[in-house]
């Protein structure tokens, strides 16, 4: 767990996943104190305006720490952050109220232990490094601990809500049977190919091969496919996953034979069948049983959490001060969408060879 996960916006994102159930409120000043942004639950517990202001200040500091301009008041971006901040606070109070009903508590020791773990794993065991990072984000240690308390409380509530969820062997087998296509690998084989722009060039390369040319060397010299050129055109293909003309020839060739020039939308290919075709294979149920159980159980847990959260919004409604009520969802603005944050995690963009895939 890194420091960025203590940042307010990251907590907003965590709660935004289930924000679709966070409604249950109205904009009415009469029942909301002047120093509050909303009141929640039957006892009309007020959410202090100061908490909202502190949260927005922390978010703004986080933007500055990442050298990003904080959205100006009144802009769509600012209103988006504001709405999520309000909904985060409302959800926070709802969680606290239901934690009492479910007898869920978080002790100071649990917070301190989790904080110590963060210092050990993310800051080389140096408290001073944590303090420095918190200062850069405009968060005091006490504020960080309060947010960590909320995170632990959320984890415990989820665990409590999902504690009775079980998955039977019958459910697992049904999931496997209903989704067998996901566990089936189509026929595949290893090929090499040389991609060029014109048929004339492809014919020339084909003639070089007829004259005893080395396929690997020719691919490295002439192929225009950046994904396979350096590897001598080496490519493992699964049936049905490449463009049709390429796919057809790749699986018709006898092992060790190369093709006549093949035209696709990417150019002209000469294809060499390197390996025999491996037949379609389905991974056995017993091999997948444990991973399927995790998947099915997670699905049921997520559904239970969503149902509980939606019920919590009805059981513990919110009344908002003027200007703080959440916007009504529309067909083009779905609820439960996290805002862009200043948390700079890595993004795996992936890569692929575009010469043969459709």
Look at domain 187-273 and name its CATH class: alpha beta
Considering the domain delimited by 3-166+293-320, tell me its CATH architecture: Orthogonal Bundle (1.10)
CB 51 within 8 A of CB 38: no
Q: Which two tokens stand for residue 84?
A: 């999520």
8 Å CB contact between 90 and 40: yes
Q: What is the rounded CA–CA span in Å between residue 217 and residue 222? A: 9
**pLDDT of res. 64:** 87
Strands 188-196 and 36-40: unpaired
Please report the pLDDT score of residue 230 as a whole number.
96
pLDDT digits (tens, 9 = 90+) for 243-260: 999 999 999 999 999 999
Cβ proximity of 86 and 52 under 8 Å: yes
pLDDT score for 350:
33
| pTM of the shown model | 0.64
Dihedral sign (CA 116, 119, 124, 129)? negative
Q: Is the pLDDT of residue 30 over 80?
A: no
Host H or E run for residue 236: strand 234-238
pLDDT, mean over the chain? 85
- Determine the Cα–Cα distance for residues 104 and 275; give it in Å rounded to an integer: 60
Residue 329 pLDDT level (bands cut at 50, 70, 90): low
Contact 333, 327 (CB under 8 A): yes
The DSSP H or E segment spanning 40 is strand 36-40
Q: Helices 215-222 and 199-210 meet at what angle, rounded to 10?
A: 150
DSSP code of residue 326: P
The string of pLDDT tens digits covering residues 127-163 is 999 999 988 888 889 989 999 999 999 999 999 999 9
In tens, the pLDDT along 215-248 reads 999 999 999 999 999 999 999 999 999 999 999 9
Range in 25-39, 181-195, 226-240, 256-270 the model is least confident about: 25-39
pLDDT for 138: 80
**Residue 278 per-residue DSSP state:** B
At 345 the pLDDT is 31
State pLDDT tens for residues 60-109. Answer: 988 888 889 999 999 999 999 999 999 999 999 999 999 999 999 999 99
φ, ψ of residue 279 in degrees (nearest 5): -70, 165
At residue 29, the pLDDT reads: 46
The reported pLDDT for the residue numbered 330 is 59
* The pLDDT value given to residue 14: 39
Sign of torsion over alpha carbons 306, 309, 314, 317:
negative
Do residues 10 and 4 make contact, with C-beta atoms less than 8 angstroms apart?
yes
Distances (CA, A) of 60 to 53, 105, 143: 10, 31, 15
- Sequence ranges of the domains in the chain: 3-166+293-320, 187-273
């Amino acid at each position: 767990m890194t420091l960025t996960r203590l940042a307010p916006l990251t907590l907003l994102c965590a709660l935004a996943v289930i924000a679709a159930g966070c409604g249950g409120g109205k904009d009415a000043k009469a029942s909301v104190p002047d120093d509050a942004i909303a009141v929640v639950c039957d006892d009309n517990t007020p959410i202090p305006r100061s908490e909202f202001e502190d949260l927005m200040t922390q978010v703004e500091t986080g933007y500055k720490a990442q050298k990003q301009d904080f959205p100006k008041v009144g802009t769509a971006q600012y209103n988006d952050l504001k709405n999520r901040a309000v909904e985060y606070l409302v959800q926070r109070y709802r969680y606290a109220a239901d934690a009492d009903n479910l007898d869920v508590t978080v002790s100071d020791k649990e917070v301190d232990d989790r904080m110590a773990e963060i210092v050990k794993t993310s800051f080389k065991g140096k408290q001073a490094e944590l303090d420095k990072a918190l200062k850069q984000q405009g968060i005091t240690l006490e504020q960080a601990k309060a947010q960590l308390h909320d995170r632990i409380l959320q984890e415990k509530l989820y665990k409590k809500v999902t504690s009775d969820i079980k998955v039977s062997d019958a459910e697992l087998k049904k999931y496997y049977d209903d989704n067998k296509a996901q566990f089936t690998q189509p026929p595949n084989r290893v090929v090499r190919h040389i991609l060029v722009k014109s048929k004339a060039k492809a014919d020339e390369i084909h003639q070089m091969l007829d004259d005893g040319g080395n396929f690997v060397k020719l691919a490295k010299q002439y192929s225009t496919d950046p994904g396979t050129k350096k590897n001598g055109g080496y490519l493992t293909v699964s049936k049905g996953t490449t463009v049709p003309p390429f796919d057809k020839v790749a699986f018709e060739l006898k092992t060790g034979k190369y093709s006549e020039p093949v035209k696709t939308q990417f150019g002209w290919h000469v294809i060499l069948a390197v390996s025999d075709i491996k037949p379609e294979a389905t991974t056995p149920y017993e091999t997948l049983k444990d991973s399927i159980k995790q998947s099915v159980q997670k699905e049921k847990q997520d559904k239970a959490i969503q149902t509980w959260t939606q019920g919590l919004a009805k059981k513990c409604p919110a009344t908002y001060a003027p200007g703080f009520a959440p916007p009504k969802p529309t067909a083009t603005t779905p609820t439960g969408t996290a805002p862009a944050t200043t948390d700079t995690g890595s993004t795996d963009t992936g890569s692929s060879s575009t010469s043969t895939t459709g």
